Structure 1
Amino acid sequence: MEIKAVTAAFSVAAQVTSDDLLTLKAAGFRTVVCNRPDNEAPEQPSAASLAAQAQSLGMSWHWLPITPGLFTKDNISEFEQLLASANEPVLAFCRTGTRSISLWALAQAPHTASAELLQRATAAGYDLSQLAPQLDAAKKQ
């Protein structure tokens, strides 16, 4: 598992396994957010099994499944609220990390300049340029 830091308090990763949860705990992560719906792929562990292990390790667990490319206003609002109240640092994951960092950027957009969000994503290895219009629109609302 490759952990990609976006900020000091928020990182993303591709699919997390039960072994990865031990690594995350050792690295100091206190909250894990799964943005992947169950059964996207046959080898994917279920959210419930990962939740049970995360909680047994004393980590907070949240499941906010996102269908690829479909970020609703409710998803974005829920993620923003989750991050505002989460024990940091937080790691969010999906199949590749793209949904998680996209959701983060959309949740931050009303409060942070689009250019900064895009730069942070690029620094973490993600090209979110296709989200620029949505990020800009969120700033104007």
Structure 2
Amino acid sequence: MEIKFVTADFSVADQVTGDDLVALKNAGFGTVICNRPDAEAPEQPTAGTLAEQARSLGLNWYWLPITPGQFTEANVSEFKQLLKSSDEPVLAFCRTGTRSITLWALSQAAEVSSEQLLHKATAAGYDLSKLAPTLDERMINNNESKLVR
């Protein structure tokens, strides 16, 4: 597992194992979010197995599986809610961390500029530049909805 710090309270990683959960607990993480569907790869542990181990360690555990490239508004909304209500710091993971950081960027885009989000993603080692128009649109839609109120 390679942890990539995005903000002071949010990080992403590639596949987490049971041993990694112990390391995450020892490092002070409070919540783990798994964005990987079961059975993507034969060697990956199931979400249920990891959930049981995480909870036995006192970590909050959430499973929000995302098929690569298939982000729904419901996924983004649920992820945003999980971030708001979770014990920090939070670590989200998938196969490479890309789905997790993409969900994070989409969930923050209504309040944070695409430039800032892309900068943080790049600093963590992820190129989300193709997502810029979508991030900008989320900010515009949020600003327009505030004007309507």
Match of 1:103 in 2: 103
Please name the residue that 2:2 is paired with.
Answer: 2
Aligned: 1:124 with 2:124: yes
**Match of 2:46, as an amino acid?**
S
Question: Residue 130 of structure 1: CA displacement?
Answer: 1.1
Larger Rg: 2
Measure, in 2, the Cα distance between the counterparts of 1:134 and 1:67. 19
In the alignment, which residue of structure 2 is the partner of 1:112?
Answer: 112
In structure 2, stretches of 5+ residues that fail to align are: 142-149
Structure 1's consecutive aligned runs of 4 or more residues displaced over 6 angstroms after TM superposition are none
What is the CA deviation profile of residues 19-53 of structure 1, one whole-angstrom value per residue up to 9, with x for unaligned ones? Answer: 10011001000100000000000000000000000
- Distance in 2, matches of 1:95 and 1:41, equals 9
Q: Deviations over 1:56-111 (max 9, x none)?
A: 00000000000101110000000001101110000000000000000000000000
Name the structure 1 match of 2:146: none
RMSD: 0.4
Which residue in 2 is equivalent to 1:140?
140
> Does residue 1:44 correspond to 2:23, yes or no?
no
SS of the residue corresponding to residue 62 of structure 1 reads strand
- Counterparts of 2:134 and 2:76, CA distance in 1: 12
- How many residues align? The count is 141
Length-normalised TM-score, structure 1 = 0.99
> Which consecutive unaligned segments of at least 5 residues does structure 1 have?
none
- What is the DSSP-based 3-state SS (H/G/I as helix, E as strand, rest coil) of the residue aligned with 2:106? helix
Letter of the structure 2 residue corresponding to residue 130 of structure 1: K
- In the alignment, structure 1 residue 11 sits paired with structure 2 residue 11: yes
| Distance in 2 separating the partners of 1:51 and 1:134 | 32
SS in 2 for 1:11: strand
Percent same amino acid among aligned pairs?
A: 70
1:22 alignment counterpart: 22
The answer to whether residue 78 in structure 2 is matched with residue 82 in structure 1 is: no
